[in-house]
Structures are given as structure tokens and as C-alpha cells.
A and B are shown apart, each in its own frame.
Chain A
């Protein structure tokens, strides 16, 4: 058996890579991919914990989380397409009609 620490280390790394990517990347699609990375880090955690505590709930959560992420990806891409058709730009820095 591999100790659970390794899973946690991998998922923490994935989460951090995703987090840094979200903050650094300027292209919306890249930001979106990094967000998915963060979500999947959490899924990895869930499955690992579920396996080690022999409680099935974590895996159920992961199944729901994967399908929800797919639905979210579809909606996100649709928004990006409508943005692209209107402005032709998907660079985060350019979104400045609304200012705080």
C-alpha cells in the first residue's frame, strides 16, 4: 500500500499549480483549464480519502463532481463563444467595461 500522504502531496501540488495558473494566465481558456485542475485535485483527494477510510461517499461525490464539471465546461465555453462573437477577444485584461 502506498501511504496516503503521497496522494495528498500530489493533489496539493495540482491544486497549487491550478491556483497559480488562474492568477497568472491571461487567456481565458488557460484560466479555465487551471480551474479544472484545481477541481480535479479535490477529486483526487476525495477518492484517496474514500479508499483509505473505506467510506464510499467520497467516490460518489467525485462522480457528481465530474459530471458537474462537464456541465460547467459547456456553459463556460458557450459564454466564451458569445464573448468572442461580440468582441473577438478572449484576453482577461480586456474585460474592462465594468469597473469597480
Chain B
């Protein structure tokens, strides 16, 4: 073992180290400072750490290295995903400052857990080995379990945490068992060595290998909440504090997809017929069932949970398309997540804004007359809804077109048709929010009070949602570069 190599490899880990240090310092700061010190300073400190980490991430763009004996990769793909995750974490912290003040739960551990969870996701985005992937996955999951149950006195929050915990652990167990079978057949946990083992003649068949693959897909399915493994998700989302829901609707899914994009189209390319078939069917049921559930929800938070499930289905279409043309398929998934995350964080941000003392602001009724109470919030919410629905000039339109085009190019015409039909159906529940906001009278006249931090977060997200729709060029360039790094 070359020791000098280890020292230089550590330097490439700087963004992760910064996030970990910020988290630890925030924890220490939280328990040594007296109660009177404002906890919002901790939020600002965490934001500072996240920004610093993002700067170092940007500096890594263009590198293409494997560090710590192929445990982690530092490449363009990892950088793009890390930036998405860091921005999500930053926006969630901005939202939480408002939410925690309204809910009277100003506790420092909240920000620490968000930071640790982000750290786990960053490790996942860079993982090129099942060991590092598993560590990242569990760090993310464990922090999220605690965040879900953060409102200790609230029974719904408790219940959400225990449900998430049990099903999360269940998924991990299946995932690890699948990994162990794949390890047994391929003789390595490293993605590139698995790729070599599978591409040997006769290396891509056998009952053990296929069982392992299926268990891996089931495990990922649970983590990404793909139908039929989604049943935990709406419950967990509803019970968890809203900013945490926003965080969980992006972070773990995006990170899981990062691993899936590194594993399935690259390492397991020799098995593309098998996983392509499974994912195609999963995508079709996911989109359809999630859509029909979303239609009959009365809570916007729950509706967004189901809509999140269906968006994972759309992204899966892109993954299926990689079986034929890897570049187009991978690019479509990356673009899809870039668009989805801005619109989704924004939509949850508006719910946080509506959450005032004694009123959670989660029901469709709470949106009644928002156009009169706060034209600003209503306009932003409309932008986010249009983007989630996929109407130009928002980014959602381009993302959906790309995914469907990739599916058509890969000869998955039926999948594209199902996608388009469902996109049309989804208009009902997205536009319902808009109708509530503009065509109904407000139930209460009081004006909304919110912090500038929340407004900043919403503005940034809305700006990017529109920017991606109007000037998509630079984002395609980003996706293209990251895919080239991967292939």
C-alpha cells in the first residue's frame, strides 16, 4: 500500500470532509452554547459549510480519478450529482428556518442530521464500489429516520419514523443479500471488476446471478419508492415535517439513481436485456398507479408524494432507454432530475410558507384564494406545478420530451405512449392546485408571514425552473459532460 497515495486521495475528499466537519462542529456548538443563543445561527453556519463544499465540488469538475483503491470516483458525473444534492440541502435549510420557528422546535440536531444525510448522499453519488455505496446509503437512511421522527411529541411523526425505519431496514437487508449473491458470482464488489466478470463469455447467466440482480432491483425499488415497493412512502412523507419531506423527496432518490446509473447501464451492461425488461415493467406500473393514487388525494403534501413516485417512473423510462443508446438514455435521466428537483423543492417550499401557527397548510383547501392572499406565492406555485406537469416554457416540458424521445429511440414505443397518457392525466391534480389558488375565495383573510430566507429559496428554485425551460443549452452540456465521464 502506497501511503503517499492515501494522503493525496484524501485531498480529493475535501467537499465531503467539509460537510462532515461542519456537521460535527454544529453538533458541538449546539450542546456547548447556552439555550439563549439563537439556533438560526446554526442554520447559517450549516449553509456556509454547504456553500464551501459546493465551491470545492466545482473545483473538481473536469477531473477523472478513482480514489482509495477504486472505492470512490471523482468525475464530472459525481460533481453534477453532488451539486444537486448540496443545493437541495441548502434550500431545505433555508425553508426549515421558517418551519422550525413556526413549529417551535428549534433544535440544533436538525441541521446536523441534514448535513450528515447530505454527506451520505455525496458518498453514494461518487461510489464505484458496493462497500462505499452501502455506507453512503445507510448514513443517508439513518439520518432520515431520525429526521422523520424529529417532532418527538407528535404521534404522526413517530409513526412515520418507525414505518420508514422498518421498511428501510427491510430494503437494506434485501439489497445486501442481492449484493452478496452478485459478489459470489463476480468475485468482486467493485463496479469495474463486476463489469469485467459479467462480460466474460457465459458470465451473464445463472440462477444465482439473476436472483442477486432481482434482489438488488427490489432493494433499490424500495429506496426509490417504485411501485409495488412504494407503500411506505406516502405515509412517511405525510407524517414527517414538511422540509424533511422536501429533502427526502429529492435526496435519497437522486442518490439512489446516481448509483443505479453507475451500476446498471455501465457495470451490468451485459445483463441489459434482463434488467431492461424488469425496469420497463416497473416504470409502466409506477407511473400509472402513482398517478391514479395522486388523483384522489385531499392533501397536497400526499399528492406531491405520489407525484414524486410517478416522476421516478418517468426517470426509469430514461434508464430503460440506456439498454439501446446509453448516451441519450443517461442524459435524459440526468436532465430529468435537474428539472424535477428544482420544481419539487419549490412546491414543498410553498407548503412550508403556508404552514402558519395552528395550521399545517397541507390540504388543497389551504390553497384556496392564495392568488389573493399572496400573489407572489401563488405565481411561484403555478410555475412549479406547470414544470412538474411538463408544460412549456418550464423545464419540465423539455425533460419529459427528452425522456420520451429516448424511449422511442430505444424502441420502447409503448412505454413512451404510457408516459404521455399519464402526463396528460396528471394535469388534473397539478392544475387543481392552480384552480384552488385563483378561482376560489380565501377561507381566511390573514396575510402570510414568512422569513426572507424562504422567499430567497423559492425565488432561486423558480428562476432555475424557468431558466432550464428557456435556455436549456447549458444544462444539456452539463448532462452530456457527466455522461461522457461515465461511459
Contacts and interface: CB of A to CB of B under 8 A. Distances in A.
B450 interface: no
B158 A87 contact: yes
Given A72-B169, A83-B162, A46 B183 contact: yes
Given A46-B180, A86-B153, A53 B187 contact: yes
A11 B173 CA distance: 12
Contacts of A22: 166, 170
A65 B176 CA distance: 9
Interface string A1-28: 0000000100100010010001000001
Contact of A38 (B177, B183, B187): B177
Nearest to B177: A42
11 contacts: A38-B174, A45-B184, A68-B135, A68-B138, A75-B165, A79-B161, A83-B158, A86-B155, A97-B159, A98-B235, A98-B239
A42 B158 contact: no
A80 to B, nearest CB: 7
Interface residues of A, number: 44
Contacts of A79: 145-146, 149, 158, 161-162, 165
Interface in A31-75: 31-32, 35, 38-39, 41-43, 45-46, 48-50, 53, 55, 57-58, 60-61, 64-65, 68, 71-72, 75
A85 B238 CA distance: 21
B155 A49 contact: no
A8 B236 CA distance: 35
Nearest to B232: A100
Contacts of B172: 39, 72
Given A55-B188, A58-B189, A98-B156, A35 B180 contact: no
Given A60-B131, A64-B131, A97 B177 contact: no
B162 A95 contact: yes
B336 interface: no
B134 interface: yes
Contacts of B239: 97-98
Interface in B182-206: 183-184, 187-190
A98 B134 contact: no
A31 B162 CA distance: 11
A38 B142 CA distance: 18
Nearest to B135: A64
B105 to A, nearest CB: 14
B13 to A, nearest CB: 17
Given A58-B183, A86-B153, A76 B169 contact: yes
B162 A80 contact: yes
A35 B173 contact: yes
Chief secondary structure at chain B's binding surface: helix
Contact of B158 (A48, A53, A82, A100): A82
A39 B173 contact: yes
A97 B235 CA distance: 9
A76 B180 contact: no
B325 to A, nearest CB: 32
Contacts of A86: 152-153, 155, 158
A46 B189 CA distance: 10
Nearest to B168: A72
B130 interface: yes
B163 interface: yes
Contact of A45 (B146, B166, B181): B181
B187 A42 contact: no
Contacts of B165: 75-76, 79
Nearest to A14: B177
B221 interface: no
Interface in B247-297: 293
Contacts of A76: 145, 165, 169
Nearest to A50: B183
B395 interface: no
Nearest to A100: B234
